[in-house]
Amino acid sequence: MDPRILRESLETVLAMDDKFPRRFYEILFERHPQVSSLFVRSSAGAQQKMFAQKLCAIVDHVEDAEWMTRELERMRVAHDEYGVTAEMFPWVGDALLDTLREALGSGFTAEVEQSWRVAYARLTSTLLKER
Amino acid sequence: MRTESTASEISLPWERPRNVFEARALHLVLAWSLDEPDRLGEAIPIRDAVCVGRGGALADDPAPRGQPFRMRPGTTRSCSPIASARISRLHLVVSPTGNGTAEIRSVGRAVMRVNGRACTSAEVRAGDVVEIHNAAVFLVTERPLQLPVVDEELTRFAFGAPDRFGVVGEGEAAWEMRSALAFAASTDRHVLLLGESGAGKELAARTIHGLSSRHAKSLVSRNAATMPESLLDAELFGNVKNYPNPGMPERLGLIGEADGSTLFLDEIGDLPEAHQVHLLRVLDSDGEYQRLGESKVRRSSFRLVAATNRPLEALKHDFLARFTHRVNIHGLGDRRDDIPLLLATLLKRTATRNGAIAAKFFERRGGEIAEPRLAPDLVARLLRHTFTHHVRELDRLLWLAIGSAPADYIGLTPAVEAELNDSEESATVVAPTELDRDAIVKALAENGRSPSKAAKALGLKNRYVLLRLLKKHGLSAASEDGEGEAS
Ligand code: HEM
């Protein structure tokens, strides 16, 4: 997993107006309509911004172990409260990868895909860690 | 051995260096941000070359990171680095030229626009607007690196929010005005407020009253221009019942009402000379006056705060001389850096009063009404508009934008656009270097090679303009290779 590849690819898709986070939720809700009912506290636009910004912050801080521990613990607690369960993680992971693939086109190389798969797997295992 | 130095030992106040408040620099003031709407008004000083981008410094930054500050009189609080996801880690490199301008270079992903025109580098000066496409809008301002200290009491409100009298602003002009109003308030002398209509003279009068020893009584406020001339004396001094005309109700008169308080007379320049003389007589006799139709001499202890948007010649010389303090109420042209904060305040007020507008145009975060969906091009254009009626006009334009909004965001609709002028030629010479090849190639790549979208991102009028430019640079919109070369 190469943090530079994560950053480069995310910066590229984020520079494309607000399409990236919007498309991500579109894909997720299309495939798993049942999760959309968990997203009630924030407007779609705000949720999209918060998601993009958090994802970006995570990618910016992958090498910062202290930040990651602190932030992911906060996220774990929050997502628990939102009613997020383990089975939903691959749904989100697949939607994320497919959104990146769609947005990057030929820029979504095997290397980019691999970096995102590894990063998301690590994130999932931290967020689902036994407490 | 002691040296015979005098310069460093002088401690007379007027000998102390004054340059702390005189050191000035260009600043980039955050006027709009997609991801960080709560950071409006933060300013990045450009004393030496700085890098602007997301997060902290990078090993290969060509210059130190520009530090965003929240500048307040007496303090400048440094803020966290920019965290907006749409701004590249290194996006802008800004270097002062030494002639009151700065060279700004964009090396980030999202296209930069200066005064609406896409470019990769430009020379900017105070008043120019720098946009990072769909990420942030900055206003270039020239201001001191430190604001002169004011009474701490005045600073007890959240950065960017209205103060307790409703005045909004964190720029130099706003603080200069607050300070002048506070000084005037402390003296109990008569005050003349000078400023164009809509600039906020009534709020200024409220501030003086609220900070004065008379604040326990309510302010008596009246617009001289709206009082019928035949009733002026009765309005000012009061009258007994049925005097001068039968059927006239008894009036206390503004002077009587303001006893122990402050009398705010707006548009005093519209008061006919004869009435200025009558008022002057009261001021000269320590508040003695008579109601019409009454022989009894009354006394009112009031402080007069008058306002005018007319040239001072409209006031009689000896009347004018009675105003110890004159305070300038700056129009928006002198405080453009406050426009984003004023917009935010006006919008927030609208949302709290009008649920339908809040539901339609505002984001919700964690169940609370959050930031408005406000298009960056509207903010950018308002920052360049020449206002004649200032805050009142801003409020009106905002309502026009809301009323003409075709969708769920507040943007630059044709109705608003028709009302806006662009101070382009009047303000500054900006030389966005001709829209260069790199910017075009980048915009195309980032907009799925759609000429219409790329044209919009580049700030061009329509896609035909872009197509012409493509031809000029030997590019093609349709080609699939990364460079977009025409074969
Ligand atoms: C890449 C990993 C993820 C990131 C960066 C992320 C980010 C966020 C952020 C920033 C919020 C806003 C509220 C807050 O800050 O707590 C949020 C809320 C939420 N997320 Fe995630 N999330 C991730 C994974 C997931 C997964 C796997 C699910 C499962 C469906 C999920 C479901 C939710 C829900 C239901 C909410 C609350 C929505 C509401 O308040 O209405 N998230 N997420």
Q: How many whole angstroms from A51 Cα to the centroid of ligand 1?
A: 7
| Contact (Cβ atoms closer than 8 angstroms) between residue A4 and residue A121 | no
Q: What is the pLDDT of residue B432?
A: 44
Q: Which CATH number fits domain B172-328: 3.40.50.300, 3.40.50.720, 3.20.20.150, 3.30.70.270?
A: 3.40.50.300
Task: Give mean pLDDT, residues B221-228.
Answer: 93
Report residue B426's pLDDT band, with 50, 70 and 90 as the boundaries: very low
Name every residue whose Cβ is closer than 8 Å to that of residue B165 and which is 6 or more positions away in sequence.
B203, B206, B207, B210
Q: How many whole angstroms from A75 Cα to the centroid of ligand 1?
A: 8
Q: How many whole angstroms from B356 Cα to the centroid of ligand 1?
A: 27
Q: What is the pLDDT of residue B173?
A: 95
Sign of CA pseudo-dihedral B155, B30, B336, B347: negative
d(CA B200, CA B193): 10
Task: Give mean pLDDT, residues B95-107.
Answer: 94
| Contact (Cβ atoms closer than 8 angstroms) between residue B95 and residue B106 | no
Pocket of ligand 1 (CB under 6 A): A 35, 38-42, 50-51, 54-55, 78-79, 82, 84, 88-89, 92, 123
Q: How many whole angstroms from B182 Cα to the centroid of ligand 1?
A: 48
Judge: B134–A55 Cβ closer than 8 Å, yes or no. Answer: no
| Sole residue written with tokens 């969906």 | B373
pLDDT tens, position by position, B127-156:
999 999 999 999 999 999 999 999 999 999
Report residue B471's pLDDT band, with 50, 70 and 90 as the boundaries: confident
> Ligand 1 atom closest to Cα of A78?
16
- The token duo for B464 is 């035909």
Rg of chain B in Å (alpha carbons)? 27
Is the confidence at residue B332, as pLDDT, over 50? yes
Name every residue whose Cβ is closer than 8 Å to that of residue B371 and which is 6 or more positions away in sequence.
A46, B37, B38, B362, B363
Q: What is the pLDDT of residue B10?
A: 61
**Backbone phi, then psi, for B104, in 5-degree steps?**
-120, 130
| Amino acid occupying residue B347 | L
Interchain CB contact of B34 with A (< 8 Å): yes
Q: What is the pLDDT of residue B16?
A: 65
Judge: A53–B363 Cβ closer than 8 Å, yes or no. Answer: no
Point out the residue among B83, B86, B364 whose CB comes nearest to the CB of A46: B364
Residue B484: is it exposed, middle or buried by C-beta count within 10 angstroms (0-12/13-18/19+)?
buried
Of residues B413 and B483, the one with the higher pLDDT is B413
Of residues B67 and B470, the one with the higher pLDDT is B67
- 3-state SS assignment for residue B371: strand
Q: B151 to chain A nearest CA, in Å?
A: 39
Nearest Cα to B110, choosing from B26, B33, B45? Answer: B33
Point out the residue among B84, B364, B453 whose CB comes nearest to the CB of A42: B364
d(CA B284, CA B105): 62
Task: Give mean pLDDT, residues B335-343.
Answer: 97
Domains of chain A: residue spans and CATH:
3-128 (1.10.490.10)
pLDDT tens, position by position, B47-87:
999 999 999 999 999 999 999 999 999 888 999 999 999 99
**Adjacent-strand bridge partners of B364:** B369
d(CA B280, CA B272): 12
Is the confidence at residue B202, as pLDDT, over 70? yes
Is the confidence at residue B439, as pLDDT, over 90? no
Q: What is the pLDDT of residue B21?
A: 62
H or E element, residue B46: strand B43-46
Report residue B8's pLDDT band, with 50, 70 and 90 as the boundaries: low
- The token duo for A88 is 């939903």
B35 contacts on A by Cβ (under 8 Å) = 49, 52-53
- 3-state SS assignment for residue B328: strand
d(CA B22, CA B18): 7
DSSP assigned state of B475: B
Residues B351-382 as b/e (b if ≥16 CB within 10 A, e otherwise) read beeeeebbebbbbbbeeebbbbbbbbbbbbbb
d(CA B79, CA B69): 6
Is the confidence at residue A131, as pLDDT, over 60? no
d(CA B130, CA B30): 10
pLDDT tens, position by position, B310-319:
999 889 999 9
Is the confidence at residue B412, as pLDDT, over 60? yes
Q: Would you call the peptide bond into B96 cis, given omega within 30 degrees of 0 as the criterion?
A: no
DSSP string over B402-462: HHT-SSSSB---HHHHTT---THHHH---------HHHHHHHHHHTTT-HHHHHHHTT-SS
Q: What is the pLDDT of residue B12?
A: 78
Task: Give mean pLDDT, residues B374-398.
Answer: 96
Least confident of B241-245, B322-326, B456-460: B456-460
d(CA B403, CA B405): 6
Nearest Cα to B274, choosing from B235, B233, B332? Answer: B233
Judge: A12–B109 Cβ closer than 8 Å, yes or no. Answer: yes
Give the chain B residue whose CA is nearest to the CA of A16: B446
- The token duo for B2 is 């002691």
> Ligand 1 atom closest to Cα of A53?
10
Virtual CA dihedral for B413, B418, B424, B427, nearest 10 degrees?
-110
Is the confidence at residue B291, as pLDDT, over 80? yes
Average pLDDT over all residues of chain B:
89
Interchain CB contact of B448 with A (< 8 Å): yes
Q: How many whole angstroms from B158 Cα to the centroid of ligand 1?
A: 30
ipTM value, please give it. 0.92
> Ligand 1 atom closest to Cα of A47?
12
Least confident of A119-123, B46-50, B51-55, B436-440: B436-440
Domain positions in chain B are 14-144, 172-328, 336-421, 432-486
**Backbone phi, then psi, for B106, in 5-degree steps?**
-105, 125
H or E element, residue B303: strand B303-308
Point out the residue among A11, A18, A57 whose CB comes nearest to the CB of B88: A11
d(CA B254, CA B266): 13
Quote the crossing angle between the two packed helices A19-31 and A3-14, to the nearest 10°.
Answer: 100
Which residue's CA is the closest to the ligand 1 atom numbered 1?
A55
| Amino acid occupying residue B392 | R
**Backbone phi, then psi, for B26, in 5-degree steps?**
-70, 145
CATH for B336-421 is 1.10.8
pLDDT tens, position by position, A87-105:
999 999 999 999 999 999 9
Report the alpha-carbon angle B153-B154-B157, nearest 5.
95
Q: What is the pLDDT of residue B393?
A: 97
* CA B45 distance to own-chain centroid: 18
DSSP string over B72-121: ETTEEEE-PPP--TTS-SS-EEEEE-SSSEEEEEE-SSSPEEETTEEESE
Report residue B19's pLDDT band, with 50, 70 and 90 as the boundaries: low
Q: What is the pLDDT of residue B9?
A: 60
| Contact (Cβ atoms closer than 8 angstroms) between residue B69 and residue B78 | yes
Beta strand residue intervals within B157-255, DSSP E: 191-194, 220-223
Report residue A45's pLDDT band, with 50, 70 and 90 as the boundaries: very high
* CA A112 distance to own-chain centroid: 15
Q: Which CATH number fits domain B14-144: 3.20.20.70, 2.40.160.10, 1.10.10.10, 2.60.200.20?
A: 2.60.200.20
A15 contacts on B by Cβ (under 8 Å) = 86, 88, 109-110, 133, 446
d(CA A82, CA A85): 9
Least confident of B16-30, B110-124, B302-316, B371-385: B16-30
Give the chain B residue whose CA is nearest to the CA of A54: B85
Report residue B480's pLDDT band, with 50, 70 and 90 as the boundaries: very low
Virtual CA dihedral for B421, B425, B430, B436, nearest 10 degrees?
70
Is the confidence at residue B430, as pLDDT, over 50? no
Q: What is the pLDDT of residue B433?
A: 47
Q: What is the pLDDT of residue B465?
A: 72
Output the CA–CA distances (angstroms, integers) from residue B296 to A68, B241, B245, B260, B377, in the order listed. Answer: 81, 15, 19, 19, 63
Is the confidence at residue B479, as pLDDT, over 60? no
Average pLDDT over all residues of chain A:
93
Candidates B133, B365, B368, B373: best to mutate against A (most CBs of A within 10 A) is B365
